[in-house]
Amino acid sequence: MEPQSHRSLESLARELAALPPSLGPVRLVGIDGHAGSGKSTFAGRLAEALGGAPVLHLDDVATHEELFGWERRLRAQVLEPLAAGRPAHWAPYDWVERRFGPVRVLEPAPVLLVEGVGAGRRALRPHLARLLWMETPREQSWGRGRERDGRELSDFWDGWERAERAHFSDDPSRPFADTLVRQSGTGYEWSSGAGATAGTPASVTEGHELPRA
């Protein structure tokens, strides 16, 4: 039987695929949220519902020295080529070796998901067809991340929390989100539109989306 969370995202995938292109021929969809909020897992499942849409992880764009200072590199390597309808050539960062790895090619796809903390920053928003925000509280998200990465990375997390707090203080994403996504016991819930921050979420259970109020 197909996993419920995969099937339940089909309606959201159809909605995103029907949007007008926002970056050349590409519908760039941002998935933002606090570190540890489940962005990567959600992006992978949404990409599958989109028929195998590519996912650009901002963890591969950031570096130890530039946790949030990757804007110009992303623009030059990814945004500008895709806007012109050309393949993007970019080098993912190796967090173990502390250097950039081999160059990868990113073709202009109908939908490209870009996920990571800062995916909804002001420099990216004009290029986004839709901005999704993972609605998981900050402390809960950070707790998940610390538990996931283990005690040996506790110093990194101390620095990360300070950097993330400063980033969102200066350049918040959530107020500009088109869609808020919440994890539920059987998949995901989301609310979209102008009233997303205060609206009733679309419930996703047993592979079905219930009508929004």
Q: What is the pLDDT of residue 202?
A: 43
Residues with Cβ < 8 Å from 82, sequence gap 6 or more?
Answer: 23, 24, 26, 28, 88, 106, 108, 112
User: Which range among 28-32, 35-39, 145-149 shows the weakest confidence by mean pLDDT?
Assistant: 145-149
pLDDT tens per residue, range 93-144:
998 899 999 999 999 999 999 999 999 999 999 999 999 999 977 777 777 7
Q: pLDDT value at position 10?
A: 92
Q: Where are the beta strands (DSSP E) in the chain?
A: 27-32, 55-57, 88-90, 93-94, 99-100, 104-106, 111-115, 130-134, 179-184, 187-192, 204-205, 208-209
pLDDT band for position 20 (cuts 50, 70, 90): very high
The pTM (predicted TM-score) of the whole model is 0.85
Task: Return d(Cα 7, Cα 11) in angstroms, integer.
Answer: 9
Residue 67, pLDDT score: 93
Per the prediction, the chain carries an average pLDDT of 85
Return d(Cα 147, Cα 135) in angstroms, integer: 19
